[in-house]
Structure 1
Amino acid sequence: MSGDSSGAFQPYPGGGLGDPADAKEELRKAIRAHRATRTPRQRLDAAVAFADVLETVPAVRDAAYVAAYAARSSEPGTHVLLERLAARGARVLLPVLGTGLARDWAYYEAGEQLRERAPGRPPEPGGPTLGAAAVARADVVVVPALAVDTTGRRLGQGGGWYDRVLGLVPDGVTVVAMVFPDEVYDGAVRPLPTEPHDLPVHAVATTEGWRRLGVTETAERARTAR
């Protein structure tokens, strides 16, 4: 596993990508370990910065319906963003995980105390579930990631949940990934490993700003074929 010579923490498989599945696991392990070093204060400050940035993304700022996620402790924090969205009257959809890889959604209400149904699972809203297809109501989708690259490749947690979710997102709906600044990779120099089932994202938001991503033709064909 090699680092970034500029001083930023950006692990990369030392022997190249090789087997994509193995390369993904190597990257996940390194990125998770680095995320775990952030203090609670750093995480809180980052959550505010993420919300500030996402409010400048036109697709988020103007959305009536936003599909987002409730972050776990080491992930880019979303609690500030969720409260701000709900306070301005947006309807916020959050994932509800069923058995296995079952997908579902429920609305988040302002001030709601989310519930952690099992250790390690993301907090969830307590209202009635809406079905997997509810994500199609969203005007924009904000997704978690461990890393993204500038072509739109996304490194997820490895469960495949969001790859299945993104297959239900209508064409033309912007998908924004949230990562820390050093988790944005140059797709021309350090492309992230990808497999046929991986679906791209269209933009990335960090604590420092946001940008559109150049989704590759191959990745876009994979998305529209589903």
Structure 2
Amino acid sequence: MPPLSKVEWRAQIRSHRLSMDDGDRARAAAGLATAGLQMASRLGSNPNAAAISAYVSVGSEPSTGLLLTALTDAGHTVFVPVCESDHQLNWVEWRPGAPMARSTLAPVMEPVGTRYSFAELGDVAVVLLPALAVDTSGVRLGQGGGYYDRFLASLATTNNGALAGVSTAAVVYEHEVMAPLQLPHDAHDQPVGYVLTPQGFLVTVK
């Protein structure tokens, strides 16, 4: 049997996510908040103050609402992405109750506020990335929009600067963590260093 394509993987995982019940989603959201705090504490050079790059979940994604609130309550400055032209990302500070607006470029909600480049965010403990699945060799299967592929590529090509060595973690449900090299990937796909699930976080083997 031939391996699944990215399109087939995405369809399969999205279907499974839509089948999850509200109780499972609520438990996952609570677990993700706990695991995310632990990860931020372990990876941040200044655990009580480091910035966190995260995102506002949509649809059937693992809910990040409790996670973002827990991080800000713990003293972290949380930034979430906003979509720009040419599939680029900038970042806006997120706080509970922050005004949100529908993106004109992607099917997501974005906070309203001052937009910063990633280089302007300072000491970022970890970048939390949306994903549909990730394998333990670091291959991340995204939604297919291309924004994060370009962003990760920009991190990978920055040497000896503010962006070098930034920790990256794909956020998925536990059952979406796959065996090494199980997911399809292309030459432009950038590996992630960690996987964050409601059950905890792990280091990938790249």
- Helix, strand or coil: the match of 1:140? strand
TM-score by length of 2: 0.85
Does the alignment pair 1:41 with 2:23? yes
Supply the AA of the counterpart residue of 1:74: S
Instruction: String of CA shifts for 1:121-163, please: whole Å, max 9, x gaps.
Output: 2221111111354466522101111011111000000111111
Q: Conserved in 2, the CA contact under 8 Å of 1:105 and 1:134?
A: no
Q: Is 1:59 equivalent to 2:50 in the alignment?
A: no
Aligned residues: percent identity?
A: 35
| Whole-angstrom CA distance in 2 between matches of 1:119 and 1:77 | 22
Q: Which runs of 4+ in 1 moved over 6 A?
A: none
Report what 2:151 is aligned to.
Answer: 165
Helix, strand or coil: the match of 2:195?
A: strand
1:120 CA displacement: 6.5
- Whether 1:187 aligns to 2:173 is no
168 and 120 in structure 1: CA distance in 2 versus 1, 3 angstrom threshold? closer
* CA 126–175 in structure 1, closer or farther in 2 if over 3 Å, else same: same
1:211-226 correspondence to structure 2 within 5 Å: 211-215=202-206
Residues of 2 paired with 1:155 and 1:135: CA distance?
Answer: 26
- The match for 1:96 among 82, 95, 116 is 82
- How many residue pairs align between the two structures? 195
Distance 1:182 1:44, change over 3 A: same
Q: Kindly indicate whether structure 1 or structure 2 has the higher relative contact order, using CA contacts under 8 Å at least 6 residues apart.
A: 2
Letter paired with 2:43: A
C-alpha distance in 2 between matches for 1:95 and 1:159: 14
Deviations 1:148-202 (A, max 9, x none): 11110000001111111113332322101111111111115xx210101100100
Structure 1 Cα separation of the partners of residues 200 and 88 of structure 2? 33
Q: Which runs of 5+ in 2 are unaligned?
A: 156-162
Amino acid at match of 1:25: V
Aligned to 1:146: 132
- 1:41 to partner: Cα distance: 3.4
Between 1:32-41 and 1:54-63, the stretch displaced more is: 54-63
RMSD over aligned Cα, in angstroms? 2.2
Where structure 1 has 5 or more consecutive residues not aligned to the other structure, the ranges are 1-13, 18-22, 216-226
Distance in 1, Cα, partners of 2:102 & 2:171: 21
Counterpart of 2:191 in structure 1 is 200
